């Protein structure tokens, strides 16, 4: 039985996006379930689109999500190098073999010529493809052009009138007509291969067992099957994942939407939620369960349960899932992940008890890490009151409430929510003031808001000394 070897092969043209993450995740889960090998291969043959630092960013992003590869850049195995620009001789050699066998031919057409050709075909309503004008060149003409230094590419000669049939593990039997395939460029004039040649060559020499990639590559599969045939190689198993769509059924595009994984992490989404959510974009378990750790996904994932139908990216569901993980992960872990965000805001979190208490209260009411930081602002830097709010605090009833608590809070021997609640109950009884008239002045003075968490929790988080200071700040002189 062939060992499972799968690869995630992104181009270093930017950040890891949701579609790329889904492809990487399914490859990773399948490899782990089958006790196989997960490979990272960098497809950087389009040198004009490379973004500096993108390779390093991709590797860090995968690591941050828990998707560490077994072979790849910096983790060299027996099949490297794993960056395509370091494998050019291999592609050029195979292109030469295809030329010699008559399965490929040189094309000397300029960009202008090709543009005009496509324009004419579009105007005639024809299928836009290369018209093979260079296929008719004689050997002598080809040699003369090359000797003259004319630039050329190498194209694959797709057979006419052929039905390409292949089995896709998700879609079953697929059949495509060669008339809908172009004579694909295999090797560009700069000596770099296109995706089509490089991916086939690498998948063969890296002994890839399953090609798990997006549906957008489905139409290219006949070209790839033909390349395997021409080179005398056995093709891997094909797996084409469904598209990911926006709620309005438009394609989720990394160019049209802000769908970079780093952006979601920066906006306060947890890696556990992102991985769990993305796993369900096209795959479903045997039951209705929706919440999985990465380890659990590795145990239950199966390509047989990947849907043919397109997946819908539902941000509301991601928010719900993130809220679940905010509340279910250990408090210390959430506090650790929030720490840089609190420090960035300039909050003094040197008191660990106050910090953890504030996180505990906030995570019950928030869905994102960033929301936790915003929610906790009241405990560290309360809002400035409006003129109307200050008038509320200046009323006789409000002043009585503030004065009573300034006097009684220092008598609490155990600064816990239960003891604080007892003082609050005693205040309501002693003052004969209740409801909004009692609670709103306290909240305005303590946190700068009319509404907030339960008062015992608020007092407990802020602490005795700070609570007294905030209450006294709004206590008028004649009431002190």
Active site residue 254: yes
Residue 245: φ, ψ to 5°: -115, 155
List own/partner pairs for 392-397 with CB under 8 A and 24 or more apart: 392/440, 392/441, 392/444, 393/441, 393/444, 393/445, 393/474, 394/476, 395/441, 397/433, 397/437, 397/441
Question: Which residues in 17-29 are b (16+ Cβ under 10 Å) and which e?
Answer: bbbbbbbbbbbbb
Measured CA distances, 435 to 49, 244, 408, 449, 458 (Å): 64, 50, 20, 16, 17
Beta bridge partners of 155: 105, 185
Q: Say if CB 12 and CB 58 are below 8 A apart.
A: yes
| Active-site residue, from 75, 254, 345, 472 | 254
Of 325, 370, 353, 384, residue with least CA distance to 460: 353
Query: What sign results for the dihedral spanned by CA atoms 242, 245, 250, 254?
Result: negative
Which amino acids are annotated catalytic? 254
């Amino acid at each position: 039985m062939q060992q499972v070897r799968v690869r995630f092969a992104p181009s270093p043209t930017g950040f890891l996006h949701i579609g790329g993450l889904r492809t990487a995740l399914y490859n990773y889960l399948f490899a782990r379930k089958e006790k196989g090998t997960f490979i990272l291969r960098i497809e950087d043959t389009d040198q004009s689109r490379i973004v500096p630092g993108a390779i390093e960013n991709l590797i860090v992003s995968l690591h941050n999500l828990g998707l560490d590869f077994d072979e790849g850049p910096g983790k060299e195995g027996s099949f490297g190098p794993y960056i395509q620009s370091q494998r050019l001789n291999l592609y050029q050699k195979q292109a030469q073999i295809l030329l010699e066998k008559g399965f490929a031919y040189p094309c000397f057409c300029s960009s202008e010529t090709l543009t005009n050709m496509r324009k004419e075909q579009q105007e005639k309503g024809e299928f836009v493809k290369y018209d093979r004008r260079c296929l008719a060149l004689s050997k002598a003409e080809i040699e003369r052009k090359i000797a003259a230094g004319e630039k050329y590419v190498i194209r694959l000669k797709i057979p006419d009138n052929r039905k390409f049939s292949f089995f896709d593990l998700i879609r079953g039997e697929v059949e495509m007509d060669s008339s809908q395939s172009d004579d694909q460029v295999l090797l560009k004039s700069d000596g770099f291969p296109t995706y089509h040649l490089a991916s086939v060559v690498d998948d063969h020499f890296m002994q890839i067992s399953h090609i798990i990639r997006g549906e957008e590559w489905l139409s290219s599969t006949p070209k790839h099957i033909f390349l395997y045939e021409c080179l005398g190689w056995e093709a891997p198993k094909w797996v084409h994942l469904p598209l990911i769509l926006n709620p309005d059924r438009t394609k989720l595009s990394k160019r049209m939407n802000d769908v970079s994984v780093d952006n979601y992490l920066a906006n306060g989404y947890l890696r556990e939620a992102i991985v769990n959510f993305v796993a369900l974009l096209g795959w479903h378990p045997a039951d209705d369960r929706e919440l999985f750790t990465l380890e659990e996904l590795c145990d239950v994932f199966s390509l047989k349960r990947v849907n043919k139908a397109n997946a819908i990216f539902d941000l509301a569901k991601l928010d719900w899932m993130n809220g679940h993980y905010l509340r279910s992960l250990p408090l210390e872990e959430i506090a650790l992940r929030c720490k840089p965000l609190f420090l960035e805001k300039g909050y003094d979190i040197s008191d660990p008890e106050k910090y953890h208490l504030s996180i505990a209260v906030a995570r019950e009411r928030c869905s994102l890490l960033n929301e936790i930081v915003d929610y906790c602002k009241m405990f560290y830097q309360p809002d400035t009151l409006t003129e109307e709010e200050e008038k509320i605090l200046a009323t006789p009833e409000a002043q009585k409430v503030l004065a009573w608590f300034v006097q009684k809070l220092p008598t609490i021997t155990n600064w816990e929510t239960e003891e604080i609640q007892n003082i609050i109950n005693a205040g309501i009884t002693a003052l004969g003031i209740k409801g909004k008239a009692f609670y709103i002045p306290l909240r305005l003075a303590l946190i700068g808001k009319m509404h907030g968490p339960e008062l015992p929790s608020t007092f407990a988080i802020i602490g005795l000394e700070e609570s007294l200071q905030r209450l006294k700040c709004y206590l008028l002189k004649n009431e002190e």
